[in-house]
Each structure stands twice: as structure tokens, then as C-alpha cells.
Structure 1
């Protein structure tokens, strides 16, 4: 049993190492291509039923394991998506993805799949509404700050090491989080730093000039 557990762990670690770089790239591309105004319009608090429907669609047509959804949801929240819609995306991704429903219908029957899908959707709507009342935007990691200079949002950082690869003279990883090395602010390569900021999949790095 112990050997099988180790084998299973190795399989999932290998899966994560193969999937997460792709997710980081896709998240970065979405961040560049989709404006904050559009995210707020279609997934923000004022999107109402339209936002709920779109959140269900995004979660349902997704591919990959649930942990692949977290970087994207961090990006969506940063750009104005409501907590309720983020919860719907995560929940849909986990339990009502289209490939999952097709397999469920094949092995358990269409009737079982449809009834389970309806009950699950109702439950997601109820619990996302409750969670939205309890959890506030300020409870989630935020990039908002009054500081100036180079800043890393430790709450958002996933320790992906892209910053250390793009600008090793300025960044390093400690305790699975990116940290800023001691440096002279006047010697920062602005172009290299901007490339590093753009490469961060969760936009945890910010440079605010005086």
C-alpha cells in the first residue's frame, strides 16, 4: 500500500509539473488580452445573472484538474471579478465539467447525470451567494498598497520561480515565495524588470515610482 501511495504521488507530481507551466502561460496571455473593464462588465458584481451564467460556462468547459483554476481565478479577482462568480467557476470546474458529465452519463446513465447536475447547480448558486455575503474582497490577497518602489504581493505569489529566472540579480525564492534581494534602486534595469513583471502569472510583482 505504501509503494502504491508513493507511485500515485509521483504520478500527480508529474502531472502538475506538466500542466502548471501551460496554465501560467495561458493565465498571463488572458491577463494581457482581456481588459479589466471587460472582466468587471461580464464577471463583476454588477454582472448579476449574466455573470453567474458566464461563470458556469467558464467552469464547465474547462480542462485539467481543479488546481489549474487557481492562478486564473487570482487574475480574474485582481481584474474585478466578484467573489461569487469566482466560487462558481471553481465549483463548476470541480464537479460539472462537460467531459465529466459525459462520462457520468455513460457509466451511471443520463437520468442520473441530469438530476445530479441540476441539484449541483442549485447547490453552487446557493453556496456561492452565502459565501459572497461572508467573504469580502479585503479578505483575499490584494495588490493595493500605499508603498512605493518594488513590491511583491506575498499572498498572491505562488513561488513559480519565473521572476528568479528573468531577473536573478533582483529576485530569489525563500520559503516557497519570491523575495527581493538587497539592491540599489538606481541600478534597476527598468526594461528587464518590466519583462519580469509581465511574466508573473498572478501579477504579484509591482513597481511604483515616486
Structure 2
């Protein structure tokens, strides 16, 4: 019964898509084509990310992660979070399994949120493209605003979450691993 609950959204969406296929064949075909393309795109990105996560999990000791990304990591944890998020490859949904590994290894929640924030807004190829198409001034303004925005969001979230909420996040990350 638990498996049925887990996949009920998928089953409902599949039913809606099949209904579209019956009532509006062209739209239904388009829905299935786009869905297939999305799934294939994810399957092309996720395996390399999972391999890298596995290597990170095996190669980096928990003590090392706590030292550089833990509660007392200070500016090193912040800079490392920005660096890891900026050089990451793949779409944003690839950041969440990475975040889970970092949480399991004892990283500070704010530092993990910095990684996710930098992953979504500050990737190096994105910055280079912006520079070429929008100009240096625009790129620098947006980059500086992103730094402050990511920091404000990461530390605000850490402060707003109760210790119980944070424990639940760490427990969920451990459960997913």
C-alpha cells in the first residue's frame, strides 16, 4: 500500500495523459513526446552525477568534510560552497543528491544551501555566456547580487529552521542515502 501512495501522483498524471491521448490525439502525442524527451535527458545526466556522488562518499572522509564544510568551517566552508556550486555540471536537480551526500558527511546546512544556490545561479559557463551577451557591467552586478542573495537565503533558512527541523533534514538525507 505504501508503494501505491508513493507513486499516486505518477499514476494520476499518466491517467490524465492517456485521457488527453483519447480526447485530443495530437496533444496527447505531444505530451508523451515531451515526457519521453525529459526522461531521456535526465537519464543522460543523472548516472554521471551518481557516480561522482559515490566517489565523493567513498573518497572523502567525514572528518575532512566536517573540517572544511562543518559548523566551524567559517569562511572556508562558504568559499568552498560557492566554488563547488559554480563548477558543478548538470541541471539543478543534480544538486540535490549532492546536497544529501554533503549533509550525510556532516556539512553545515548553510554551506549546503550555498552549494545549491551557487549551482542554480553562478555556474561558470553561465557567467561567461552572460558576459559575452549582456556585457561585463551587467554580469558583475548580477554576480555580486547573487553572492549576497545566496548568503542571505542560506543563513536565513538555517536560522529560521528549528533544531528539530534541521534534524529532520539530516535524517531525511541519511534515509535517502
Query: TM-score per shorter chain, which class?
Result: 0.7 to 0.9
Give the alignment of 1:4-153 within 5 angstroms: 6-135=32-161, 136=163, 137-142=166-171, 153=175
The number of aligned residues is: 148
- Segments of 5+ residues of structure 2 without an aligned counterpart are 1-25
Cα deviation, residue 79, structure 1: 0.8
- In the alignment, the residues of structure 2 paired with residue 42 and residue 83 of structure 1 have an alpha-carbon distance, to the nearest angstrom, of 13
TM-score (norm 1): 0.65
Q: Deviations over 1:168-199 (max 9, x none)?
A: xxxxxxxxxxxxxxxxxxxxxxxxxxxxxxxx
Structure 1 residue ranges (4+ consecutive) displaced by more than 6 angstroms after TM superposition: none
| Secondary structure of the corresponding residue to residue 94 of structure 1 | helix
Cα deviation, residue 69, structure 1: 1.2
- In the alignment, the residues of structure 1 paired with residue 172 and residue 135 of structure 2 have an alpha-carbon distance, to the nearest angstrom, of 47
Alpha carbons of 1:6 and 1:107: their partners in 2 closer, same or farther (altered >3 Å)? farther
Cα deviation, residue 11, structure 1: 2.3
Cα deviation, residue 28, structure 1: 0.8
TM-score (norm 2): 0.77
- Segments of 5+ residues of structure 1 without an aligned counterpart are 145-151, 157-201, 203-210
Q: Deviations over 1:16-45 (max 9, x none)?
A: 111112211111111000000010010111
Richer in helix (by share): 2
